[in-house]
Amino acid sequence: MINIVQTMPNRLPDVQALFASAYAARDTGDLAQAERTLRQILATGQEPLRATTRLKAQTGLAQVWRQRGQYRRAGLLLRLTLAAAEASCGPHSLQVAAACNEWAILGKYTGDFDHAETLYQRALTIYEAVHGPEHHSVATICHNLGGLAHTRGNHVAGEPWARRAVEIRTHLLGEGDPMVAADAAAWASLLDGIGRHEEAENVLRRALQVFENAYGLNHYEVAVTVHNLAALAHRRGDLPAAQAGYGRALAIKQLLLGSDHPECATTLTSLAANHYHQGQHAQAVAYYARAITILEPVVVSDHPVLAAARRGLAQASTHAFSDREPSGSR
């Protein structure tokens, strides 16, 4: 026993360093390296920390798989991870909360919305009980609940959650921090949904400036914010500005995630709608079809983006066919 205690301090920093390396790789977009490092942690098998270390690494690995668009694989791992966390750490543990949050994020992307909301609420209850109401983990769940409501089209219900996330994070970090900007950008989408369009655009432009200053021009947060600004331009009828914004967002996502990633399908669908509204029906058909091809294998059949792409394709295809000249004419 004495020998184990004496050797642990020399071994613990190795695992912590591996986690730090994995998260750094993830945050810079090197998901392949993040996966390799997390798998290395899972292979170490340190006895005194095996349960918590394994759960943390499995949750991180599921997150990487989600970010790579491997939704089914991530869901299977999270189901196992949550059950293991409940058994080894207890149903009200932080390990359970982390697994619930990650599985709920996945549910938002796949369209399993009711399950996602249940998981978020369970995670929020745990985090508030452990950390109190003013904590980063609480802000994160509030942010995510707002995002889920936005995806479901329930902007009125989501706006208070998103606003609470901004308030907590601003209190903890101050204005101008990228994490605050991320919360603010998510809040802006809900502000737009409830009709506060000018306020939403101002919030988004401030967030974009923070992201570009902190991360540079080719970053995921930049892509999402540019997409959302393009959507605002689209709704007010500035179709050329919207097209430029969607195009920039798509280029960044493809650079970071790959051209067949499900995240690209959201922007492809919006870009297709923009082309359709400009009367460019053939281009719209191509973008809608590409979005459908990406989404069909990985989301539920009634996922809102997939449904929108299918409706759009049917409309655009009809017009594209009528746009063609009759056979033999010049």
pLDDT digits (tens, 9 = 90+) for 180-204: 999 999 999 999 999 999 999 999 9
Residues in contact with 61: Cβ distance below 8 Å, sequence separation at least 6, in sequence order:
35, 38, 39, 42, 77
CA dihedral 281, 287, 288, 292 (to 10 degrees): 160
- Give me the chain's average pLDDT, please: 92
Higher pLDDT, 211 or 323: 211
d(CA 191, CA 286): 32
DSSP, collapsed to helix, strand or coil, labels residue 63 as: helix
pLDDT of 48 reads: 52
Give, in order, the Cα–Cα distances in Å from 17 to each of 37, 42, 99: 10, 14, 22
More confident: 6 or 153: 153
| Residues near 172 by beta carbon (within 8 Å), at least 6 away in sequence | 134, 135, 136, 139
- How large is the average pLDDT for residues 37-54? 80
**Structure confidence at residue 47 as a pLDDT band (50, 70, 90):** low
How far apart, in whole angstroms, are the C-alpha atoms of residue 150 and residue 54? 33
pLDDT, average across residues 71-81: 97
Report the candidate in 133, 230, 232, 225 with the shortest Cα–Cα distance to residue 182.
Answer: 225
Work out the angle at residue 140's Cα, subtended by the Cα atoms of residues 78 and 93, and round it to the nearest 5 degrees.
50
Cα separation, 174 vs 180, in Å, equals: 8
Sequence-distant (≥ 6) Cβ neighbours of residue 310 within 8 angstroms: 288, 292
What's the pLDDT score for residue 43? 87
Arithmetic mean of pLDDT, 166-180? 96
- Which helix (H) or strand (E) segment is 83 a member of? helix 71-89
pLDDT at 28: 85
Predicted TM-score (pTM) of this structure: 0.84
1 pLDDT above the threshold of 70? no
Contact between 39 and 33 under an 8 Å Cβ cutoff? The reply is no
pLDDT of residue 327: 44
Query: Above pLDDT 70, what percent of the chain?
Result: 91
